[in-house]
Structure 1
Amino acid sequence: MTTPLRIQPLARLTWGTLLVTAPGAVLQMITGRPATASQRWVLRVLGGRHALQAGIDLARPTPTVLRLGAAVDLLHAATCAGAVAFLPLWRRPAAVDGTGALVLAAGALAHARTR
């Protein structure tokens, strides 16, 4: 049975796997345009990071690990904010991904408080 505290890392793992396996489809759904080779590469790297972080969160959901993961998500959200401001080609995907990073960080911090 999946506890509510395991839902977030499982959702992150699903998202990361989707980004690794179908980055072009994800980006086209978000932007309405075909993805470039560089965009697909970036999404695969980000998907790998999500999958790795999900694995760590599932294996060791200690408050310290969860807070470190939240810090990574907040750093990622900050880079997304920069992309929104300065990279028109990345504006919409960065806004979507940055919002997701903030939600994941908030969830990890809330989870860390309950541990």
Structure 2
Amino acid sequence: MRAFEVLRAAYGTAEVLAPGAAECFLIGRAPDAHARTFIRVLGARHLLQAAAATTLGGGAALHWISAGVDALHALTMLALAAVDRRRRQPAVANAAIALAFAAGELRSGTRAGVRSQISCPCGGLTGQPVGDCSVDVLVRGTRHTRMG
């Protein structure tokens, strides 16, 4: 489990077990019962995403999908902030957190894509599709070889 998944799992656990703590810390007031229910649901989603990334290996596609889920969450929170004045502060804070998670997922997805190219038998040096060893590869600018 990588540090990012640990962070997501810890945040999700905090939301499930103490749904008012983060909101109290961020905006200085406790959420109502309705909001606590939704916070717990969001915490469960974070736990599910962390478990999926860990269990399924955290490939690039999974990270990109997870980033999309986080971005969608941020958009819904911004929409809530636009229509519900009473929930504006926590919704904007939640949107910022969701965008931070989306950025982390995009970074992880980019790194996962780079790792898959590097693990290609060709070395993935020229950006060719992973596993396509029939292309010419210029290695270190000194020698031209035909792979495959």
The structure richer in strand per residue is 2
CA deviation after TM superposition for structure 1 residue 92, in Å? 1.3
**4+ residue runs over 4 A deviation:** none
Question: Which range is displaced more, 73-82 or 89-98?
Answer: 89-98
Match of 1:29 among 25, 29, 32: 25
TM-score w.r.t. the length of structure 2 is: 0.70
1:7-65 deviations in whole A, cap 9, x for unaligned? 11111110110010011232222232232110110100011101111111122201111
Question: Which range is displaced more, 105-114 or 63-72?
Answer: 105-114
1:48 aligns with 2:56: no
Letter in 1 for 2:48: L
Partner SS for 2:80: helix
How many residues are treated as equivalent by the alignment?
A: 111
Match of 1:110 among 98, 104, 107: 107
Comparing both chains, which one has the higher relative contact order based on Cα–Cα distances under 8 Å and sequence gaps of 6 or more?
1
Match of 2:69 among 65, 69, 72: 72
In structure 2, distance between residues paired with 1:25 and 1:101: 17
- Over aligned residue pairs, what C-alpha RMSD do you find? 1.4
Question: Which range is displaced more, 66-75 or 102-111?
Answer: 102-111
Letter in 2 for 1:25: A
Question: Which range is displaced more, 13-22 or 32-41?
Answer: 32-41
Percent identity reads: 35
Structure index of larger Rg: 2
In structure 1, distance between residues paired with 2:108 and 2:21: 31
For structure 2, the 5+ residue unaligned runs are 113-148
CA deviation after TM superposition for structure 1 residue 69, in Å? 0.4
Report the counterpart of residue 92 of structure 1 in structure 2: 89
TM-score w.r.t. the length of structure 1 is: 0.88
1:19 aligns with 2:15: yes
